[in-house]
Amino acid sequence: MSTFTRADYCTVACADTFALSGEVMVSPFGSIPALGARLAKSTSSPDLVLTDGEAALVHGVNPLNARSSDLMREAYVPYKSIFSVVWSGRRHVMMMASQVDRFGNQNISAIGDHDHPKAQLVGVRGAPGNSVNHATSYWIPVHNNRAFVDHVDVICGVGNDSAAQAGAGATRFHDLRRVVTNLGVFDFSGPDGTMAVVSIHPGVSPDEVASATGFVLAGLEGDVAVTRDPTEQETALMAELDPKNFREKEVPSS
């Protein structure tokens, strides 16, 4: 039996999403993606650029619970400067998604009919510009049929089909990478740029993934790869960088 938790597997899956990236700014949303980015910078991608989440680039790799006063800031990066980074393509964002469909269209704006939504969420925000200018991945801590839907109610992050319909202006730098959830890891290598299984986490069955997804996923047939175990170095780093176990609060073990 594995000694690693589901949150540990999600963390290394996020780290692998950022692996070998070179000098790019990473913008991870959520405790597990933030920890995964720190693992990647500490191992496979030392040139990753991390921020304090507000208006500065930071030096080194700091624990998730680091106090703002303890951070060593390298450069001031006001909000308006982020757009220059976005347009340069030297950024990889891992956004969350309230809904995502088979082509990678993402919704964080509203649930239900546009004129009379059942729920108002955070709004479109920077999702369209992110997804057509630089690498974009998604983190969904609870994989279920409400999140993985046939059609999103509002297109915020641009999926492969929507980018193709919009033309060269949308497809030139469009780069959907991964979707990481509490059940597995997915990419868009399926037919016509649809979502496909990369791996499922230990203890998860293909049937469980299929029943939690509101569309047919490519790659669930036959032998399905299993998400790798954390290395000894990664295990030590997770304990050092997440001493308060924020990752377990995001994806509980039970």
Structure tokens at 194: 């649809």
- Say which amino acid occupies 62: N
CA distance 62 to 39: 11
Q: What pairing do the DSSP bridges indicate for beta strands 175-181 and 184-187?
A: antiparallel
Rg (CA), the chain: 18
Asked if residues 2 and 229 have their Cβ atoms less than 8 Å apart, the reply is: yes
Please report, for residues 11, 31, 100, 254, the alpha-carbon distance to residue 89 in angstroms, rounded to integers and kept in the order given. 24, 24, 23, 39
pTM as predicted: 0.95
Structure tokens at 205: 């069955």
pLDDT tens string, the chain, 254 residues long: the values are 479 999 999 999 999 999 988 999 999 999 999 999 999 999 999 999 999 887 888 889 999 988 888 888 888 888 888 888 899 989 999 999 999 999 999 999 999 998 899 999 998 988 999 999 999 999 999 999 999 999 999 999 999 999 999 999 999 999 999 999 999 999 999 999 999 999 999 999 999 999 999 999 999 998 999 999 999 999 999 999 999 999 999 999 86
CA distance 129 to 132: 6
> Domains of the chain (ranges plus CATH)?
6-248 (3.40.1080.10)
Q: With both helix axes pointing from N to C terminus, report the angle between 232-241 and 31-42 in degrees, rounded to the nearest 10.
A: 130
CA distance 112 to 119: 7
Structure tokens at 231: 């290395």
Beta-strand ranges (E) seen in 88-131 are 91-96, 99-100, 106-107, 110-112, 117-120
pLDDT for 52 equals 84
Choose among 191, 162, 189: nearest CA to 178: 189
Asked if residues 35 and 101 have their Cβ atoms less than 8 Å apart, the reply is: no
Choose among 137, 127, 138, 131: nearest CA to 172: 131
